Amino acid sequence: MGRYLLRRLLQLVPVFIGTTFMIYALVWAVPGDPFAGKCGERRCPDQYIAFMTDKYHLDQNIFVQYATYMQNLLKGDFGQTFSGRSINDIIATAYPNTLKLAVVALLIEAGIGLTAGVLTGLRRNGFLDNLVLVSTLFLIALPVFVVGFVLQWLFGVQWQLVKPTVSSEMRFSELIIPGFVLGSASMAYIARVARTSIAENRRADYVRTAIAKGLPMRRVVGVHLLRNSLIPVVTLLGTDLGALMGGAIVTEGIFQINGIGRQVYRSIVTKESATVVSIVVVLVLVYLLMNLVVDLLYAALDPRIRYE
Amino acid sequence: MRVSKRATGALAVGMAAALVATGCSSSEGGGGEAGATKDGAITIHGVQPENPLVPANTTETGGGKIIDSLWTGLVEYPNNGGAPQNALADSIETKDSKVFTIKIKKGTKFHDGTEVKAKNFVDAWNWAAYSPNGAANGSFFSDIQGYGDVATEDPDGDGPQKAPTPKVDKMSGLKVVDDQTFEVTLSAPTAVFPTKLGYSAFMPLPDAFFSAKPEEFGKNPIGNGPVKFVSWQDNVEIKLTRFDDYNLRDKLKIKDVTFKLYQSEDAAYADLQGNNLDFMETIPTSALAGEKYKTDLGDRAMSTVTPTTAFIAFPIYDKRFTDPKLRRAVSMSIDRQAISDKIFFGTRKPADSWANPLTPGAPAGNCTACKFDPTQAKQLLQEAGGFQGEMVFYYNADSSHKDWMEAVAQQVKTNLGINARAEGMPTFAVFRQNINAHKMKGLYRAAWQQDYPDIENWVNPLYVKGGSSNDGLYSNPEVDAAAKAASAAPSLEASHQQFAEVLKKVDADVPTIPVYFYGQQSGHSEKIKKLELNNVGELDLSSVEL
């Protein structure tokens, strides 16, 4: 286990360097002068362009720029945007918001998704099963922005039960609707995967044995059946958490949440290359670590899986 | 000049006609309750400023709106579109439009408590003009004597050489006389100079600015306007509050103002509908379609006009477009009324003059090429020898220009039989890059909002050789000479008359095609009982009552 962990952690180093360089090269290869649209329907003054080019080393080649960037990165400095704001600050303010939203979304999707999955898996072809089948189909078919706008309009504008957008305090109660929107599609997938998995294991020998031993149904389902059926669900939840922590451009945009997704989108549009690279670097790290955690969770759930 | 983030056009500070809100006149509810107003707080729509809040460095509307409320300049532009009036200035005097003696009012303060003195202006202007400081608005000072000594040019454009460091860091044309008086000498007579002084580049800066880094100052700006800065949470909100020591005309009646910084206009619009946002300057296009906003907002919807014109520009550096007859033919084949009615539901008006008619000095209806006359257009095209190949109309696809540009292309195709089509470029930045580099292979959309309210601003930057936004490289020596003479006229009235004559010459050449005048649809919450919009359609904070 320890050696496995160490090996996985060491593997992260080349992956990290490789991805960051690729991102860096790609971002700077995007055609377009970063100052082209900055001054409206006229050129920026030469003195401004000269000043900025010099300040941000834009006249040097990409390898020198990348080396300088990595040097600062190792010192924990992500650099500055073209307007002189510290990128560390941007990430530090935006990331907690994304995390909060991700956790709310994950709780909602795991809670509702698993409950629906277990109930329908145990009683297949009943009314509830059909209802969940139809409603998950509906959720999967709807693009997230449709769900977002409809819920925002219904709850925020029409019934005025909540504020249409999230305030700067990011209260938990304000995040329920955005979290639901963000988790809606995954919730549907989780319900379906859990249902299939439960239904399949329901007929397994060990379940029959457990019932034959006279164990109460709650224990059969809660301990024996659920634990074995959770592996595909955990895989799904793990990758989903990685995706959620990468920010949700659409949901954050609809509900005015200052998260990492909005920051990336904004930086791409305004050609803030340094910000794009820095945020993506953080996301790469998050993804790599999330994958590791999911792999370790397998072993915890299924003792047959061991890492040497 | 400022650019809107949505890139609907080039934007700046300027002036317009009276913009009294519909359904918000003082007769209704008597202007609200005094108590609610006195401690009242409002939240208005904003966009994250791209740069720290330093007036001479702000070129876009996101930061510009906040700068406008944090600072008060020498002159101000009245909401009703009249001539500029002295604000901080006590008097601006000149005999020859070359040497100006500016006296400022005594006893006004910056937000840090220091007094606003003449040297705060002189120091601020010198800082902005000094090229190593890289101020984006530096060129606004080019009228002043000695500008060439403090702002050096890159000898080979964007090449490897760098601009030499200027020998001096102060313009010889600026002289402090005493605490309340300073003298400005221009390099050539410029009648419109006092009008320009209301633009944000000309704001005074407190002594604290010069001892801090501009980036640091811009995160915690100290102005001299009716509101002072409280806090700025990136991409979330900027909080401002009433400056109680303010003693000029536009003192606030309410107390706190929060600019909520939106990324998505639709989110802002949802907040406006839900009364969670008190004022939104521009209602998004999605709500304009079919006049949806009128049903959504009822009497909270407002409609006004702004001094901005949409053009289609010719790349005159392309030899296919050098013949004025061809240009006139294209212009006359466009049915502007139909575009206004069908595409904009009447919210934008068909253009019929070269300078926006809301501008002081601008003659209305002086664009003879703006008439819709397909028969004459066809004849002109024949005289010009027809048009070979494909005529492409370019626009930036990241903003809502597709519909009207395609309509224009279709009209040209139908009415002139030219093989015309519209094509979008992905972003405003890519679009501008090609325009700046003079690489456009067809006509392209453009928009102009005056930097300051004067007809001069609709001529010199656009139609004079070397003008800052003469992107099509139009050049007519007669126009250049006449515009130069008009700029140097001894009085503003004489200058206006001469510029009107210049525009007649421009009309004969049709260097661009005016298409429509912008309108603005805004909305406010139920909380606001009374408000006015300023000359460019921004909320006049001092007018707000709850």
How many Cβ atoms from other residues are within 10 Å of residue B99's Cβ? 16
Q: How many CB pairs under 8 A join A and B?
A: 167
Chain A 149-188, CB below 8 Å of chain B: which residues? 149, 152-153, 156-157, 160, 163-165, 168
In Å, how far is B429's CA from the nearest CA of chain A?
4
Sequence-separated (6 or more) residues with CB below 8 Å from residue B360: B15, B81, B82, B83, B453, B454, B455, B496
B262–A contact, CB cutoff 8 A: yes
- Mean pLDDT value across chain B: 87
* A54:B162 CB<8 A: yes
User: Has residue A273 got a pLDDT over 90?
Assistant: no
Counting residues of chain B whose pLDDT is more than 90, the rounded percentage is 60
Which residue has better confidence, B257 or A80? B257
Chain A within 8 Å of B386 (Cβ-Cβ)? no
Residues of chain B positioned with their CB less than 8 A from the CB of A270: 50
Provide the pLDDT for residue B206.
95
Say whether pLDDT at A303 is over 80: no
Q: Which domains does chain B have, with CATH numbers?
A: 41-261 (3.40.190.10), 305-519 (3.10.105.10)
Specify the range with the lowest mean pLDDT, choosing from A158-162, A246-250, B45-49: A246-250
Find which of B263, B269, B444, B451 to mutate to test the A interface (most A CBs within 10 Å of its CB).
B263
Q: Does A93 touch chain B (CB under 8 A)?
A: yes
Residue B167 reports pLDDT greater than 70: yes
Whether residue A305 has pLDDT greater than 90: no
Q: Kindly state the helix (H) or strand (E) to which residue B375 belongs, with its residue range.
A: helix B374-383
Q: Which residues contact B363 (CB under 8 A, 6 or more apart)?
A: B353, B355, B500, B503
Q: Where are the domains of chain A?
A: 88-301
Contact B468 A42 (CB under 8 A): yes
Average pLDDT, chain A: 85
Cα–Cα distance measured from residue B63 to residue B358, given in angstroms and rounded to the nearest whole number: 24
| Neighboring chain A residues of B50 at a CB cutoff of 8 Å | 38, 82-83, 270
Q: How confident is the model over B235-262, as a mean pLDDT?
A: 92
Task: Mark yes or no for CB contact B134/A48 under 8 Å.
Answer: yes
Q: What is the mean pLDDT of residues B255-275?
A: 90
Does B60 contact A at CB distance below 8 Å? yes
What mean pLDDT do residues B501-508 have?
A: 94
Restricting to B residues 335-364, those with a Cβ less than 8 Å away from any Cβ of A are: none
Measure Cα distances from A92 to A98, A244, A254, A260, A279 in Å: 11, 17, 22, 10, 11
pLDDT score for A242: 80
Tokens coding A198:
């439960």
The confidence score (pLDDT) of residue B137 equals 84
C-beta separation of B102 from B184 below 8 A = yes
pLDDT tier at A37, thresholds 50, 70, 90: low
How many CB atoms are located within 10 Å of the residue B95 CB? 9
Nearest-by-CA chain B residue for A39: B59
pTM above 0.90, yes or no: no
pLDDT at B54: 92
Query: For position A38, what pLDDT does the model report?
Result: 67
Residues of A in Cβ contact (< 8 Å) with B236: 168, 258
Which has the minimum average pLDDT: B29-43, B314-328, B418-432? B29-43
- Is a pLDDT exceeding 50 seen at residue B4? no
At residue B160, the pLDDT reads 55
Higher-confidence position of A42 and A234: A234
The answer to which of A11-20, B227-236, B492-501 has the lowest mean pLDDT is: A11-20
What is the spatial distance between Cα A304 and Cα A298, in angstroms, rounded to a whole number?
A: 9
User: Is pLDDT at B146 greater than 90 in this prediction?
Assistant: yes
- A14-28, A171-185, B83-97, B310-324: range with lowest mean pLDDT: A14-28
Asked if the C-beta of B3 comes within 8 angstroms of chain A's C-beta atoms, the answer is yes
What's the pLDDT at B115? 95
Give the Cα separation of B474 and B457 in Å (integer). Answer: 16
Residue B317 — very low, low, confident or very high, per pLDDT cuts 50/70/90?
very high
pLDDT at residue B277 tops 60: yes
Residue B395 has which token pair?
Answer: 């626009």
Question: What pLDDT is stored for residue A26 in this prediction?
Answer: 84
Closest alpha carbon to A241 in A302, A191, A300, A186: A186
Q: Phi and psi (nearest 5°) for B173?
A: -80, 0
- Does A8 score more than 60 pLDDT? yes
CA distance A277 to chain B (A): 18
pLDDT above 90 as % of chain A: 24
> What CATH fold (topology level) applies to the domain A88-301?
MetI-like fold (1.10.3720)
Cβ pair B154, A48 in contact under 8 A: no
Closest CA to B328 of B517, B515, B508: B508
- In percent, how much of chain B has pLDDT > 70? 92
Q: Is B437 helix (H, G, I), strand (E, B) or coil?
A: coil
Per the model's pLDDT, the better-predicted residue between A14 and A31 turns out to be A14
Query: Cβ of A88 under 8 Å from any chain B Cβ?
Result: no
Judge: A269–B138 Cβ closer than 8 Å, yes or no. Answer: no
Q: B469-485 pLDDT, tens per residue?
A: 888 999 999 999 999 99
User: A185-228: per-residue pLDDT in tens?
Assistant: 899 999 999 999 999 998 899 999 999 999 998 899 888 898 88
Task: Say whether pLDDT at A16 is over 90.
Answer: no
The mean pLDDT of B95-123, rounded to a whole number, is 94
What does the pLDDT read at residue B30?
Answer: 43
Which pLDDT value is given to residue B25?
35
A97-147 pLDDT tens trace = 999 999 999 999 999 999 999 999 888 888 999 999 999 999 889 988 899
Task: Say whether pLDDT at B458 is over 80.
Answer: yes
Kindly report the nearest CA distance between residue A263 and chain B, in angstroms.
Answer: 9
Q: What is the pLDDT of residue B155?
A: 63
**Average confidence (pLDDT) over B394-405:** 89
Give just the sign of the alpha carbon dihedral B66, B69, B74, B76: positive
Distance from the A80 Cα atom to the nearest Cα atom in chain B, whole angstroms: 11
pLDDT of B1 over the 60 cut: no
Nearest to B344 by CA among B389, B303, B385, B295: B303
| B332 — pLDDT class (breaks 50, 70, 90) | very high
Which is more confidently placed, A113 or A2? A113
Q: What is the pLDDT of residue B20?
A: 32
- Do B505 and B478 meet the contact criterion of CB atoms below 8 Å apart? yes
Mean pLDDT for B68-73 is 94
The predicted structure's pLDDT at residue B353: 95
Distance CA A302, CA B214 (A): 59
Measured CA distances, B247 to A273, B42, B397, B532 (Å): 45, 22, 46, 20
| Higher local confidence (pLDDT), B406 or A166 | B406
